[in-house]
Each structure stands twice: as C-alpha cells, then as structure tokens.
C-alpha cells in the first residue's frame, strides 16, 4: 500500500485525494494546506493539517499548489532525501528543492472541483531525477488506472502549451459562441451535439483531415456574411485571424495572386 501526503487544496489536489482514496493500492496518510478551512471537511476521512512541522513520513509527497508556490513550499519542507513530486505541466522539475528526491506527477486533464472524472482516462506524465524512482512513479499512476508516460521537462511544457490550445482556448471559443447565439435568443444546447462530434472525430483522424467549414472551402460569400453578422469587433478580429490560419494550413492563401502595384 503506497502512502501519500498531499500538499495543497485546489482542484488537482481535491481530485487526486478522491482518486487515491478510491484506489486499492494507495491511501492518503495526510493532507496539508496552509488554510485549514479548505480541507477541514475531510478531517473525518484522513489526517488534515496546516503545519508543515506535523508532516509524517510517507512514500511520496505530492505538491499540488499554484505554479508560483511550488518552489517555496518544497524549500519549506522540514525533511530531506524523501520523494517529492509536483503536478504542474509547466514548472521545471528543478524548481523543487534538491534536498529531496524530485519527480513530476502531471495528470493531463482539466480539473473542476465539482466535476466527476474517470482517472483511467487520464494520462499521467512522469519525470524523475533519480532513475530508481521511475518504476515507483509508474506504479503509482497505474494504481489509479492511469497510463503513465515518461517525458522530460521540455516535452511536458510543450504538452501543457498544446493543452492550452485544445482546452482553454477552445473553451473560450465555446463562450464566444454562447454569447453570439444567446444574443439572438438561441439555445446553446443546440450546438452541443456538434461540440461532441467535433471532439469525437479527432479520435479517429488527424485534426488536419477533420477540418471542414467555409475557410477550408474558401467560401468567400459565407465568410463575408458571417463577418456582417458579428457585432463585436473583438470577435470579428478573432474570426478573421482563425479563418486566415485555416486558409494558410490548407494552402488556400498560397494561391492568392499578389496585388499589382499601381504607378
């Protein structure tokens, strides 16, 4: 049975707590957070603390706090030569204090506290500084039903960047679509099957092959009509930017004839 100490109480920490508690091969020995009220409701399930001096020995200490807080928290840990991992997609493994064995346990998923997640569908990106910890980290991920992937810092940071595009930026586009449709009293639910089908398509084909729409077809009349319908200048600029990007990707802009200079 792998003993885990969680440090932090945000979305990632909360979901990890639930996953470790549910898994057969792990248990949360302690849960630390600087603000005790954030974890006090779990006091009947595990030992909850807000004092680092009270930390007990465990197989692994997982830091799941904001990126800017990782380095300071790892430096304040009152022990050395124990296995400490952070869960960030963008922070270097070397931001962890070298007094301890360092690792990364990065679940590549979007986390909201009230959302239900199936951890068996979440890839875990693993990074280590000591080769001897690799198998342990893989076992920890597999205990949750996750597929572990050994990657380096550059690969992980690139994955995080890619994740911002497919998740955060895409969600912002959903929000804009919601605003545009709502302005005309259109129920956003009508668009949800399209959202699901779009996500489903890239499970079986590349995003390049899955692309459709007026920009891909170079349908100038439809594009012009859309631009007239858009009331927000910010949304109009975004539409034009994405349209140009799709055209460039699919070689449409290359076929445009250069403007002749008038003399």
CA angle 175, 176, 178 (to 5 degrees): 65
pTM, full prediction: 0.83
Q: How far apart are CA 203 and CA 199, in angstroms?
A: 7
Sign of the alpha-carbon torsion through 164, 140, 135, 147: negative
pLDDT digits (tens, 9 = 90+) for 243-261: 999 999 998 865 455 444 4
The structure tokens listed for 169 are 């930026």
What's the CATH fold of domain 2-151?
A: Rossmann fold (3.40.50)
Q: Which residues of the chain have pLDDT under 50?
A: 255, 258-263
Q: How far apart are CA 196 and CA 203, in angstroms?
A: 11
Q: What are the start-end ranges of the E strands in the chain? A: 2-7, 26-32, 47-49, 60-63, 83-86, 101-107, 124-128, 148-150
Q: How far apart are CA 66 and CA 49, in angstroms?
A: 19
Q: How many CB atoms lie within 10 A of CB 16?
A: 24
Q: What is the pLDDT of residue 263?
A: 39
Q: How far apart are CA 32 and CA 13, in angstroms?
A: 10
Kindly give the pairing relationship between strand 124-128 and strand 148-150. parallel
Task: Tell me phi and psi for residue 124, to 5 degrees.
Answer: -110, 120
What's the CATH fold of domain 156-253?
A: 1.10.1040
Instruction: List the one residue out of 121, 140, 118, 101 whose CA is nearest residue 20.
Output: 140
Cross-strand partners of 32: 7, 49
CA distances from 47 to 25, 87, 90 (A): 18, 21, 30
Please give the helix or strand (H or E) that residue 201 lies within, else none. Answer: helix 192-201
Structural domain spans, the chain = 2-151, 156-253
Burial class of residue 57 (count of CB atoms within 10 Å of its CB; 0-12, 13-18, 19+): exposed
């Amino acid at each position: 049975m792998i003993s885990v100490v969680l440090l932090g109480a945000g979305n990632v920490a909360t979901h990890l707590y639930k996953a470790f508690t549910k898994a057969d091969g792990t248990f949360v020995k302690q849960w630390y957070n600087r603000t005790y009220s954030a974890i006090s409701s779990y006091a009947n399930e595990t030992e909850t603390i807000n004092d680092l001096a009270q930390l007990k020995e465990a197989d692994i200490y997982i830091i799941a706090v904001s990126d800017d807080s990782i380095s300071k928290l790892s430096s304040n840990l009152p022990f050395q030569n124990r296995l400490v991992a952070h869960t960030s997609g963008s922070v270097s493994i070397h931001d962890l204090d070298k007094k301890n064995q360092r690792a990364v346990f990065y679940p590549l998923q979007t986390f909201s506290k009230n959302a239900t997640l199936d951890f068996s569908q979440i890839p875990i990106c693993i990074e280590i500084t000591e080769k001897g910890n690799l198998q342990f980290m893989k076992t920890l991920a597999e205990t949750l039903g996750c597929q572990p992937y050994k990657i380096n810092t550059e690969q992980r940071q690139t994955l995080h960047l890619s994740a911002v595009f497919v998740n955060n930026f895409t969600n912002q586009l959903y929000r804009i679509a919601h605003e545009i449709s709502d302005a005309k009293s259109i129920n956003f639910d009508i668009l949800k099957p399209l959202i699901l089908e779009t996500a489903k398509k890239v499970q079986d084909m590349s995003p390049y092959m899955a692309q459709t729409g007026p920009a891909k077809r170079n349908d100038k009349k439809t594009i012009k009509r859309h631009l007239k319908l858009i009331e927000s200048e910010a949304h109009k600029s975004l539409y034009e930017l994405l349209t140009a990007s799709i055209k460039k990707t699919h070689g449409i802009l290359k076929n445009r004839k250069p403007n002749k200079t008038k003399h």
